[in-house]
Amino acid sequence: MILGFIPKKNILTTKISFDSTGNPIIQSDSVNYIYYSGNVDNVSFEFQVANKQLNQYITISSNDNSFNFFRYYQLPEIKAAIFVWRPPIIDRRNYVLDVKVNAIANLKDQKNGTINAIKSSTQFSLVVSYVDNQTGLPFAIASLDSLGNGRKDTVFQQNLFGSSELLVDFQNRKLENLIIDEWENKVFVYGVNLLNDLKGKPEVWIINKPENNGGSVYIKQITANTITLGGKTPQFGNCRVRIRLSRRSDGSKIEDEFILEPLPISEPVFSQVMYPNQQYVINPNFPNINKNFAVRLFTENRTLYSANSNSSFTITLDDGLINKSIYLERYINGNLYGRTYQISVKPYPIPIITKVQSIGTDKVRVVVNSFGIFGGKDNYIKSVDLEGNGVYKELVGQTITNRKELTYTQVYEISPQNDNKPFEFKIRFQDNRGAWSNWEKYPN
């Protein structure tokens, strides 16, 4: 758990009354702090605001934090998130909204240095009461019994807030979508029953920039207080999707819009050249969206790795794949995402002499690198071919082994075999595989 993951207040209360001229007087506790503690970082929040009576929900997260009435801000310097809400001016009906807070964070284990993802949740409530300005007592709730139909539910339960003000909010104010998918966004409408109180059909249209980017919009579904829109995702550029509504009862109108953009294809992270017997990490690098992911690594005749996951994975290739190609593919909802990526499997390089350096009148230092694994063992230098006036010895204490890169650096010292002859030689090295380096001469 995230230790101490608690809201500062369990209830945020709002009282609304009206003066003699009908202007609202609002006393609102509209800010709540949610604190967390512990050895955690990369904390992300999600707020689910629910009107359980009407079975309506809104989710606010880092990907969708643009609702008219709700916002949140993170303050990692004090280990907190701030939830802010703006109670609308609505019909005189009391209501309660429940807010569930979900958090995901990385927990650091100081003993072994590992990082684990953990989750935690808490909740608080938003309570709105309408009171008489003179007495301070709550208004009586009108029931539909007064209209003669015998129902006991309150008059104003058309939508989440029952607002007499015509308001529009979007599930996503800025929607990013895969170009291979049709997009969908919900329009939440307050202050009108969309099924029986609209003056004409909802007007929706799209403004494409540039005009030929392929974006489109249509109405998929209409319920009492929600319009579901959909369409083709633009291939490039962006779109402004606009909606216009008119209420039949009083002629009130509202027009609003959201932004639609194609989600750029993110490239996977991997080595385009790989060597056998070495472990590699491949990050599929899928976008942060709620879809079904799959990844596959394969050759022309067999699958090397396959998973329905968006997580990074490790792969070690065997010697049988040397001088062959393997392929990486990613899928979202069963559709190829991006393209097929080719990876070349190559043999390790031959040994490379990186330095031939004189360190005096009668000594030369030679540095050589060898690479990879052979026979399950480190591929060190196994033999030296020296021609000319010289003898060699290895400076074993200066050997450097790089396990991560599978690179081995060995140092040799050459001295004259016969002091009466010119100090000249050429040298090459052979690794455990039997591969020889190129010749190097001294002096050059």
pLDDT band at 280 (very low <50, low <70, confident <90, very high): very high
* Cβ-contact 177, 216 below 8 angstroms: no
Query: Where are the extended beta strands (E) located within 216-252?
Result: 218-222, 226-232, 238-246
132-141, 142-151, 218-227, 368-377: lowest mean pLDDT where?
142-151
| Complete domains list, the chain, with CATH | 6-147 (2.60.40.10), 167-262 (2.60.40.10), 273-345 (2.60.40), 352-442 (2.60.40)
What is the share, in percent, of the chain residues with pLDDT greater than 70? 88
How confident is the model over 181-226, as pLDDT tens digits? 899 998 878 778 899 889 999 999 999 999 999 999 999 999 888 8
Q: Where are the alpha helices (DSSP H) in 102-224?
A: none
58-72, 160-174, 291-305, 350-364: lowest mean pLDDT where?
160-174
Neighbours of 171 (CB within 10 A): 19
How confident is the model over 77-100, as pLDDT tens digits? 788 888 988 876 655 667 888 899
Q: What is the pLDDT of residue 66?
A: 61
Q: CB-based contacts of 173: which residues, under 8 Å, 6+ apart? A: 64, 66, 67, 258, 259
* Cβ-contact 231, 218 below 8 angstroms: yes
What is the share, in percent, of the chain residues with pLDDT greater than 90? 48
How far does Cα 429 stand from its chain's mean position?
Answer: 49
How confident is the model over 329-375, as pLDDT tens digits? 999 989 899 899 999 999 999 999 999 999 988 999 999 999 998 88
How confident is the model over 110-119, as pLDDT tens digits? 666 667 788 8
Q: What angle do CA 313, 317, 322 make, to 5 degrees?
A: 145
How far apart CA 249 and CA 246 sit, in angstroms, is 9
pLDDT greater than 90 at residue 421: yes
Compute the Cα dihedral for 301, 305, 309, 312 and give only its sign: negative
